[in-house]
Amino acid sequence: MKELLEHLEKRLGKKFDEADVRMAHPLVLAYIGDTIYDLFVRTYLVMAYNVPVHQLHVKAIDFVRAKGQADTLRHIVRFLTEEEQDIVRRGRNAKPGTMPKNASVADYRLATGFESLLGYLYLTGRDERLFEILDYILDNAKEGGKGERG
């Protein structure tokens, strides 16, 4: 993942350093974190299941919907560093302009905190920690049956 950031930094002639990431609005971190998580989940599902696209989409929903992300955060929070918990807190407390119809306010805010964490780890180039968290999520999903429908 670092290669993508390095490529863009070279192309744009601008370095996106840790201070820039720390100063970024939590919703900006959540914006990129949502994409990182979605790409990870979809790639995992394509590699793990030989099923039609509609079934892949149904499986992906379990992971990427706000309730799924909130539940994931509830499971991993005890493994997060204080710095990571602070990023989650900032994301959770950010005031979004809109709310989804199919999620509670509490779940949506936790999901935003989770996405902020993933965005932060990605943008700071902490791939090893990002993959550690994502692997933990997949291990939990296998044990709990998440994404195993159909």
**In b/e form, how buried is each residue of 129-139, taking b as 16+ CB within 10 angstroms?**
bbeebbeebbe
* Distance in angstroms (rounded) separating the CA atoms of residues 85 and 83: 5
Record the pTM.
0.90
The yes-or-no verdict on residue 106 having pLDDT over 70 is yes
pLDDT in tens, 61-103: 888 999 989 999 999 999 999 999 999 999 999 988 777 778 8
Domain boundaries, the chain: 2-144
Q: What is the pLDDT of residue 142?
A: 66
CATH number of this structure's domain 2-144, picked from the four choices 1.10.1520.10, 3.40.50.2020, 3.90.850.10, 3.40.50.20: 1.10.1520.10
Q: What is the pLDDT of residue 148?
A: 43
Average pLDDT over every residue of 137-144: 74
The yes-or-no verdict on residue 147 having pLDDT over 60 is no
* Distance in angstroms (rounded) separating the CA atoms of residues 90 and 29: 10
Confidence band for 125, pLDDT divided at 50, 70 and 90: very high
Q: What percent of the chain has pLDDT over 90?
A: 71
In the block, tokens 């509609």 appear at 54
Q: What is the pLDDT of residue 103?
A: 87
Q: What is the pLDDT of residue 143?
A: 62
Helix, strand, coil distribution of the chain in percent, nearest 5: 75, 0, 25
Query: Which entry of 17, 20, 34, 38 is annotated as an active-site residue?
Result: 34
Average pLDDT over every residue of 35-42: 95
The yes-or-no verdict on residue 135 having pLDDT over 70 is yes
First to last CA, the chain: 31
Catalytic, 34? Answer yes
**In b/e form, how buried is each residue of 44-69, taking b as 16+ CB within 10 angstroms?**
bbeeeeeeeeeebeebbebbbbbbbb
